[in-house]
Amino acid sequence: MRKPIIAGNWKMHKTVAETVALVQELKTLVAGGAQAEVVVCPPFTALYSAGQVLAGSAIGLGAQDMYWENQGAYTGEVSPLMLKDAGCRYVIIGHSERRQYFAETDDTVNKKMKAALEAGLIPILCVGETLGEREAGDTEKIVGVQVRGALHGLSAEQVAGIVIAYEPVWAIGTGRTASSEDANAVCSFIRRTVAGLFGAKSAGEVRIQYGGSVKPENIGELMAKSDIDGALVGGASLEAATFGRIVKY
Ligand code: 13P
C-alpha cells in the first residue's frame, strides 16, 4: 500500500517569522491526524527555522531545489548536505518554474536526482507538459522523455522510494485544474513508464502526486483516483486553514 503524500510548495513566499507562524499553525491542525504524509517546502532562508518548529512532529520538511555538488565554488547555490543539515527530508527537483525560468534540463534534473538520493534526501521529481504540448497531443511523449531523462542511471530500489509529481504547466497557478480523469491518466502513464524501466515492484511502490491548482474543493476527487497518491500544492498551501482542509481531504 502506498501512503498518500501531500506537500506544500511555498515557492518564493514567506519570511522567517511568517514561516514559523504558519508551520506552528499547521502542526496544531495536523496533530489530530491526517491520513496522508504531510510535507512543507518553505524557501531556503526559512528552512532551518521551520525544521526547529517541526522537529518531532508528523510534518516533514522539504526544499524547493538544490545543486548537485556537496560543496565548492558555486556562488549562490545550496547543496544536498546543507539541506540535510537544515532538517530537510525531501527536495523538489525539476519544477516547471525551474525549467522555464532557470534553464533546467532533463540532464541537470538527472544530476540533482542522483545527488539528492546519494545524500539521503527523497526527491519529489516534477514533470508535466505545456498547454501547447497537450493540444498537440504530445503529453505522453513529453512526460515520457522527462521521466526517462530524470531517472536515467538510478536503481530500481532508488526509484521505488522517490515521489513523482505530475504537474501540467497549464494548470499551475491558473485556477485551471486537470480533470481527475486526465490527471489520473497521465499518472498511470508515468507508472507504466516506471514499470517498463525499473520493473513492477518499483512502479507499485513509487508515489505519484498531481499538482496544479489543487484546492480543498477538488482534492477529494483527485485522491480517489487509483494512480494519484497525493498532491503538490502551491497557492493553497500558503494559508494554514486551507492547507489543513487539503491534507484532511
Ligand atoms: P498551484 O497550486 O498554485 O497551481 O501551484 C502548483 C505547483 O506548482 C506546485 O508545485
Per-residue model confidence as pLDDT tens digits over 212-240? 999 999 999 999 999 999 999 999 999 99
**Beta strand ranges found along 194-237 (DSSP E):** 207-211, 230-233
Cα 5 from Cα 124, distance rounded (Å): 10
For residue 200, pLDDT over 90 is answered with yes
Could you confirm whether 95 is annotated as catalytic?
yes
Could you confirm whether 152 is annotated as catalytic?
no
Over range 114-141, report the average pLDDT. 97
Listed by start position, the domains of the chain span 5-247
In CATH, what class is 5-247?
A: alpha beta
* 249 alpha-carbon distance from chain centroid: 18
Q: Exactly one of 18, 25, 95, 181 is catalytic; which is it?
A: 95
- Compute, in angstroms, the gap from residue 9 CA to the centroid of ligand 1: 7
**Beta strand ranges found along 48-134 (DSSP E):** 59-63, 90-93, 122-127
For residue 35, pLDDT over 90 is answered with no
Query: To test ligand 1's pocket by mutation, which of 40, 90, 213, 247 has the most ligand atoms within 8 angstroms of CB?
Result: 213
- Cβ proximity of 139 and 133 under 8 Å: yes
For residue 176, pLDDT over 90 is answered with no
Closest C-alpha to ligand 1, atom 1? 234
- Compute, in angstroms, the gap from residue 95 CA to the centroid of ligand 1: 10
Neighbouring CB atoms inside 10 A of 188's CB total 16
- Cβ proximity of 232 and 126 under 8 Å: yes
> What residue ranges line ligand 1, CB within 6 angstroms?
9, 95, 167, 172-173, 211-214, 232-236
- Compute, in angstroms, the gap from residue 82 CA to the centroid of ligand 1: 25
Q: Which three cell numbers stand for residue 242?
A: 486551507
Residue with cell string 498537440: 136
Looking at ligand 1, which atom is closest to the CA of residue 171? 4
Question: For the purposes of burial, counting CB atoms within 10 Å of the CB of 6, is it exposed (0-12), middle (13-18) or buried (19 or more)?
Answer: buried
Query: Please, what is the Cα angle at 197 between 157 and 151, to 5 degrees?
Result: 65
Q: How many CA atoms lie within 13 A of 133 on its CB side?
A: 15
Quote the mean pLDDT of the chain: 97
**Tens digits of residue pLDDT in 56-75:** 999 999 999 999 999 999 99
| Eight-state DSSP code of residue 177 | P
**pLDDT score for 234:** 98
* 211 alpha-carbon distance from chain centroid: 8
- Compute, in angstroms, the gap from residue 72 CA to the centroid of ligand 1: 32
Closest C-alpha to ligand 1, atom 2? 234
> Would you place residue 175 in the very low, low, confident or very high pLDDT band (cuts 50, 70, 90)?
confident
Query: To test ligand 1's pocket by mutation, which of 11, 125, 129, 166 has the most ligand atoms within 8 angstroms of CB?
Result: 11
Q: Exactly one of 77, 129, 167, 181 is catalytic; which is it?
A: 167
**pLDDT score for 140:** 98
